[in-house]
């Protein structure tokens, strides 16, 4: 009987010791280097874009005096604010630049949408806080919209970075 009690006590002690052991930590996996919060040219692009809020829309427009379309607005701002020549359609602009994940966007990155039943048919400039500036034909003015707004969230294609 005493032997059974001793065995039971040993078994209980082993069980409790196993329950109280510290699990081993998962193997450390180094994180990918994070992008800086913003680059100087990216900030300049975002600030310049803010100055064009309420500029009129014009299909094919490439300057604020005549009106801007989305790709014309981007080309105009990138040229004036950063000295970077980006021309062509939104799809042409999307072919250049470095792909960026939606969660890694920073001011000055470009965001692309499928708004005409065609990938990369619309482009805007990300300014931070889930917002972007663009020149939509609807309502005919350069404006700020939320990336998470239902219309844009459903049509988001990709983002591109053009600065380090």
Q: How far apart are CA 55 and CA 20, in angstroms?
A: 67
Residue 70 annotated in active site: yes
Q: Out of 10, 19, 28, 70, which one is annotated catalytic?
A: 70
Extended strands (E) in the chain? 62-63, 67-68, 98-100, 110-113, 122-128, 131-134, 143-146, 156-161
Report how far residue 10's alpha carbon sits from residue 96's, in angstroms, rounded to the nearest whole number. 69
d(CA 33, CA 39) in angstroms, rounded, equals: 15
87-124 as b/e, with b when 16 or more CB fall inside 10 Å? Answer: eebbbebbeebeebeeeebbbbbbbbbebeeeebbbbb
> Beta strand 98-100 with 67-68: parallel, antiparallel or unpaired?
unpaired
On whether the CB atoms of residues 51 and 42 are closer than 8 A, the answer is no
Give the active site residues.
Answer: 70, 122, 134
């Amino acid at each position: 009987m005493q032997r059974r009690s001793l065995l039971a006590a040993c078994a209980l002690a082993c069980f409790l010791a196993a329950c109280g052991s510290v699990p081993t930590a998962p193997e450390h996996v180094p994180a990918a280097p994070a992008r800086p919060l913003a680059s100087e040219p990216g900030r300049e692009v975002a600030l310049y874009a803010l100055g064009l809020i309420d500029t009129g829309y014009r299909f094919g427009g490439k300057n604020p005096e005549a009106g801007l379309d989305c790709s014309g607005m981007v080309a105009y701002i990138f040229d004036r604010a950063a000295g970077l020549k980006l021309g062509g359609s939104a799809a042409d602009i999307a072919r250049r630049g470095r792909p960026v994940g939606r969660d890694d966007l920073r001011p000055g990155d470009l965001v692309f949408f499928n708004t005409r039943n065609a990938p990369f048919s619309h482009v805007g400039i990300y300014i931070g806080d889930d917002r972007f500036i663009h020149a939509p034909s609807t309502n005919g003015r350069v404006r700020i919209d939320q990336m998470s707004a239902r219309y844009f969230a459903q049509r988001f294609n990709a983002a591109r970075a053009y600065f380090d």
